[in-house]
C-alpha cells in the first residue's frame, strides 16, 4: 500500500498560518456581506420525513457551504483561469496546467493540499500587478460564461431553505475571496469566506494572507466569523463534498455530506451525518473531464497528468 501514498492527502492540524488565513477570510466576508435573502434561488428542498430544519427565526444559526463540487460542479479556480486565458492574461501552456490540475482533481476524487497549492500559486502569479477592481469586474463576466450553469440545483435549494428561515448563508472555499464573493452575491447568499490575496493600494502583490483557505483553515474561518457574528455553532449547519472539510463539518451541530467522496461518506455514515448526492454518476470522472478542462486532446492528457504527478513525487 505504500506505493499508493501519493493518492492520500496529508491531514494537517491548524497552524498559525491557518488561523491567520481564517481570520482574514472572516474579516473580508463581513465587509462584503449582503442582507439575508437578497435573491430567491430555484429549486425546493427534498421531503425526507426528517424533523423541520432549518428552524425558522433562529437568527443565531447560519449555514456554511463548501463551493467546489458541493455548490458548483468542478473547481471555481479553474473556471476563473479559463476566463482569464480567454482575455489573454496568460499563455496556452498555463491553461493546460490549469486543465491538468482540474483533471487530476476529478480523476483522483480528492483535494490533495499540495496539488491545490500548485493551482493557487499559478493563480497568484497571474493576478500579480493587476488591480482588485479589474479582477472583480472580469469575475462577474466569467461567472456568467463558465459558472452559472454548473450550480447544483439541489444544493441551491438547501441554501434557499436557510435563507427562507431568516438565516445567513456563507460560502467557504479555497477559491479567491473575490471570486467566492461574486458567486455568493449572484446566488443571493449572505457572503463568502475565501482565500485572501494580499493587495496594496488596490493592487495584488502576488502573496497570500496566511495560506489557502483549505482544511483546518476553513474551520478557523468559520469559528472566527461565528464569534464575530454572535452565532451558536451547535445550531449552525455545514455542507461539503470532501473529507478535507471534516474539521469544518465537525464544528457545527448539523453537518451534511453533499456529493461526498468515499472517505467523507464513510465518516458521515459512522457518525450518522445526513447525506445528499446530486450527481448522476458515482465518480467525478463520469461528469466529463474533457468538457471540464476546456482544451482539446485532454482525454489522453489525464493519464499523462497522473504520470507527471507520480514522477514529480
Q: Strand runs (DSSP E) across 42-200, as ranges?
A: 62-66, 168-176, 191-195, 197-200
Active-site residue, selected from the candidate residues 47, 58, 68, 261:
68
Who contacts 135 (Cβ-Cβ below 8 Å, separation ≥6)? 127, 178, 204
Peptide bond connecting 237 to the previous residue in cis, omega within 30 degrees of 0: no
- Concerning whether 277 is annotated as a catalytic residue, the answer is no
Residue with cell 493551482: 119
Find how far residue 50's CA is from the centre of its chain.
27
Do the Cβ atoms of 165 and 62 come closer than 8 Å?
no
Task: Quote the cell numbers at residue 158.
Answer: 438547501
Active-site residue, selected from the candidate residues 66, 112, 241, 245:
66
Residue 107 to residue 187: CA distance in whole angstroms: 28
- Concerning whether 241 is annotated as a catalytic residue, the answer is no
Find how far residue 310's CA is from the centre of its chain.
25
* Residues carrying an active site annotation: 66, 68
Amino acid at each position: 500500500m505504500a506505493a499508493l501514498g501519493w493518492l492520500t492527502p496529508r491531514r494537517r492540524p491548524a497552524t498559525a498560518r491557518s488561523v491567520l488565513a481564517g481570520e482574514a477570510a472572516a474579516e473580508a466576508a463581513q465587509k462584503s456581506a449582503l442582507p439575508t435573502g437578497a435573491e430567491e434561488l430555484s429549486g425546493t428542498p427534498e421531503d425526507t420525513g426528517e424533523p423541520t430544519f432549518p428552524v425558522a427565526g433562529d437568527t443565531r444559526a447560519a449555514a456554511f457551504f463548501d463551493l467546489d463540487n458541493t455548490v458548483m460542479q468542478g473547481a471555481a479556480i479553474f473556471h476563473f483561469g479559463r476566463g482569464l486565458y480567454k482575455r489573454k492574461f496568460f499563455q496556452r501552456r498555463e491553461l493546460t496546467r490549469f486543465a491538468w490540475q482540474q483533471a487530476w482533481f476529478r480523476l483522483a476524487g480528492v483535494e490533495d493540499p499540495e496539488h491545490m497549492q500548485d493551482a493557487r500559486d499559478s493563480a497568484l502569479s497571474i493576478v500579480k500587478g493587476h488591480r482588485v477592481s479589474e479582477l472583480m469586474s472580469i469575475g462577474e463576466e466569467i461567472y456568467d460564461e463558465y459558472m452559472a450553469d454548473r450550480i447544483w440545483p439541489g444544493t441551491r435549494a438547501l441554501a434557499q431553505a436557510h435563507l427562507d428561515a431568516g438565516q445567513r448563508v456563507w460560502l467557504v472555499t479555497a477559491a479567491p475571496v473575490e471570486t467566492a464573493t461574486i458567486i455568493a452575491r449572484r446566488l443571493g447568499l449572505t457572503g463568502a469566506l475565501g482565500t485572501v490575496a494580499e493587495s496594496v493600494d488596490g493592487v495584488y502583490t502576488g502573496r497570500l494572507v496566511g495560506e489557502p483557505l483549505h482544511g483546518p483553515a476553513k474551520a478557523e474561518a468559520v469559528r472566527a466569523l461565528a464569534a464575530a457574528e454572535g452565532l451558536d455553532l451547535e445550531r449552525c449547519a455545514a455542507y461539503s463534498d470532501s473529507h478535507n472539510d471534516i474539521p469544518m463539518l465537525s464544528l457545527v451541530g448539523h453537518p451534511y455530506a453533499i456529493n461526498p467522496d468515499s472517505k467523507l461518506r464513510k465518516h458521515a455514515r459512522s457518525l450518522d451525518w445526513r447525506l445528499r448526492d446530486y450527481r448522476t454518476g458515482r465518480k467525478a470522472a463520469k461528469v466529463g473531464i474533457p468538457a471540464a478542462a476546456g482544451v482539446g486532446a485532454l482525454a489522453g492528457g489525464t493519464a499523462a497528468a497522473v504520470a507527471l504527478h507520480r514522477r514529480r513525487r
